[in-house]
Amino acid sequence: MGSGKRGLLTAALTVVCAVTVLAAPGAAFAAPAPTPAPTTGGSPSPTPTPRPGKDLEEIREKLEKLYHDAAVATDAYNAAEEKAKKQSAEIVALAKKIDQGQQRLDKLKNQAGAAARDQYRTGGLSSTAQFLLSDDPGQFLDGAGRVLQGQQAANKLMAEMTRTQKDLRQYADDASAQWKKLDANRKAKAAAKKKIQKQIDTAEKLESRLEKKEKERLAQLEQEAANKAQTAWLDTGVLDDIDGKATAQGKKAVKYATEQLGKPYVWGAEGPAAFDCSGLTSQAWAAAGHPIPRTSQEQWKQLKHVEVEDMRPGDLVIYFDDASHVAMYIGDGAIIHAPRPGRTVTIAGAGSMPILGVVRPDA
């Protein structure tokens, strides 16, 4: 194998080994609450009437949007990473084909060279010429067979060399195309990473200005919002109709997800120490022996849709209009999910967020 081909194969293998999950620091929920500045002396300055409840509610909504945008970017990052892994594997396969094809071509060239050398040793006369000059009938018949065989072998050799050269050109073109796609996805990952970090950094700055009591109250407001949404969902009577039983694989997936309770959310992570939302669900189903797409958006696109009333433990609940969040239904109106940075894998109400729909991995 030439140095160029070795370089391609080595580079391709390096790409595959280098595809790693990047982690972003988890940050607890945070946001600032304006505090009125005291006036001094006899020069009064206008001081707005503090409205901590309203201010914190606005902060909660802003944080919710920041983390939602980070989740969308995380899905884009994960999708680009999955594509990069696939393209890296294809590049490696193509590099191996190029190497094998070149070895085959070298062997064919050696065979053609040997035939040429043999012709030279016979005085420059081809087998056809030797056959035509023969006066011996036996040798004539013998030679006729050899000539035919020689012609067939030569034609086969040339056809195989042509085909091998064509294959090598196609492999090289395919490898070049995959390298371009790989580079495009590398840039997409970098852009998504930058956006994720921007959203999380903004949230961290908001939190850094909060007092301890404000943080506690903010957490309380978040829980109240989730409880309100869950109650509204349950009030529709939907739980009365949900009585599906988990399959054997569904039970395994739920068991895996349950064992991850308390582990931190880290964007781009798929275990074993940390997870993002789709990292948790994809790994849970992989552990159950049924691999599914890596991202929540692809899970929504590719897996079978079922009605909410028909869902059973192990099914995946997809949230928000853009399918940017996913959780696993575990029964009794509850889910397990990895919420967002600063949170851990936890149990929540299935209706605590806007439901887009439900998908079934083992349909």
Residues that are catalytic: 277, 325, 337
Q: How far apart are the first and last CA of the chain?
A: 47
**Whole-number Å distance between alpha carbons of 340 and 73:** 12
Cross-strand pairs, 358: 306, 317
Residue 319 has φ and ψ, to the nearest 5°, of -120, 155
Residue 271 has φ and ψ, to the nearest 5°, of 90, 175
31, 218 contact by CB (below 8 A): yes
Mention every residue, 6+ apart, whose C-beta is less than 8 A from residue 336.
Answer: 254, 257, 258, 260, 261, 280, 327, 328, 330, 345, 346, 347
Tokens representing 324 are 């940017």
What b/e sequence results for 235-244 when a residue is b if at least 16 CB atoms lie within 10 Å of its CB, and e otherwise? Answer: eeebbeebeb
Tokens representing 349 are 């109400």
**Whole-number Å distance between alpha carbons of 200 and 50:** 27
Q: Where are the alpha helices (DSSP H) in the chain?
A: 3-18, 52-121, 127-132, 137-208, 212-235, 238-241, 248-259, 277-287, 296-302
Q: Measured on CA atoms in the order 339, 342, 345, 348, is the torsion positive or negative?
A: negative
**Whole-number Å distance between alpha carbons of 144 and 157:** 20
**Whole-number Å distance between alpha carbons of 237 and 94:** 56
**3-state class (DSSP) for residue 229:** helix
Helices 277-287 and 52-121, packing angle to 10 deg: 60
**3-state class (DSSP) for residue 223:** helix
**3-state class (DSSP) for residue 45:** coil
Tokens representing 205 are 């700055």
